[in-house]
Amino acid sequence: MTSYLKTTILLAGLTAIFMAVGFLLGGKTGLIIAFVFALGMNLFSYWNSGDMVLSMYGAREVDGYSAPEFHGIVARLAERAGLPMPRVYIIENDQPNAFATGRDPEHAAVAATTGLLQRLTPEEIAGVMAHELAHVKNRDTLIMTITATIAGAVSMLANFGLFFGGSSNDERGGNPLGMVGAILAAILAPIAATLVQMAISRTREFEADRIGAEICGRPNWLADALTNIHNSANHIPNYQAEAHPATAHLFIANPLSGASMASLFSTHPDMGERVARLRAMAPQTGSFTGGFGGGGFGGGQTTPPRDGRSPWGAPPQGGNGGNQVGQGGFMPQNRRGPWG
């Protein structure tokens, strides 16, 4: 079964769960209302989801002047992927992470945290952004937003039904199970919706890893990035994501602080398995072509030391560059982009 067919089936299953909750709470009338509500939510998500998510995280748009190196990486990768140039955003957050959003490639946006830009090497950043552009190319951004919307609505509707106890069964088609139906919906529906959301997200993450590795041409860059993100994210909380847990699946790595029980319901695949798959791809994938010449940065150096500086190095002594966080950039303004 292809990943696209599996995703379609899972999305249909998630919608069916939502409609089943409506039936348990309101019988035929509840089923119809749930169906109409699901359509309305999907339409709203289609047109507004991207800007809503960016606003939740206080993302700041940057361009080739305010963040030339980061913007240049995204531009070159988008060209390699055959995609329109997405909007580029930076999120003020110490946890290294990134996500993509938007209803289609023509309205896409990619966002990276300050922690990612400061802690990862240029190669690793390229691997991460290639992964996010793979989501754009696959139109996962729309799929995952709709998934989050329906899953969140399932929980909301189930809790609503439990609070009011459900309607009684009558000639108007009320709840056939009364309070029992409301309790079942409140307990089982959110769990089922979460499991389906996990399955969809994990399927899309594996596919984005594979295509992202093909876009950047170096699977090990993404593998190294995932390893470093995972190690850092475990020790650095993301309070914005904690406040909006329904958006956690959008990130390249789970941004939520997870105890062992929470990890069972993680929307992301096991990081070790993701890294292993990428390592296995490495011998089969050539180096960059079409402008990513040399396979590295700065005379063949491919793994600059992580010493807390900007990933493109410290500014020249006496210069006025540095980490231009306040102005939207991170790299010295008098340095060339990593690809020349």
Residue 226's nearest CA partner among 289, 277, 294 is 277
Query: How far lies 206's CA from each of 171, 261, 307, in Å?
Result: 49, 23, 31
Other CB atoms within 10 Å distance of the CB of residue 261: 7
What does the alpha-carbon distance between residue 26 and residue 265 come to, in Å, rounded to a whole number? 29
Q: Is the dihedral of CA 234, 50, 9, 156 positive or negative?
A: positive
DSSP assignment letter at 144: H
How far, in whole angstroms, is CA 320 from its chain's centroid? 35
Residue 103 near residue 149 (C-beta atoms within 8 A): no
Let me know: does 47 contact 103? Beta carbons within 8 Å: yes
Catalytic residues, by residue number, are 132
Distance CA 40, CA 46 (A): 10
Distance, CA of 38 to CA of 23 (rounded, Å): 13
Between the two ends of the chain, the Cα-to-Cα distance in Å is 43
- Cβ contacts of residue 244 below 8 Å, gap of 6+? 56, 57
Side chain identity at residue 301, one-letter code: Q
E strands, 196-304, are none
Rounded to the nearest 10 degrees, the angle between the axes of helix 178-216 and helix 271-281 is 30
CA distance 338 to 67: 13
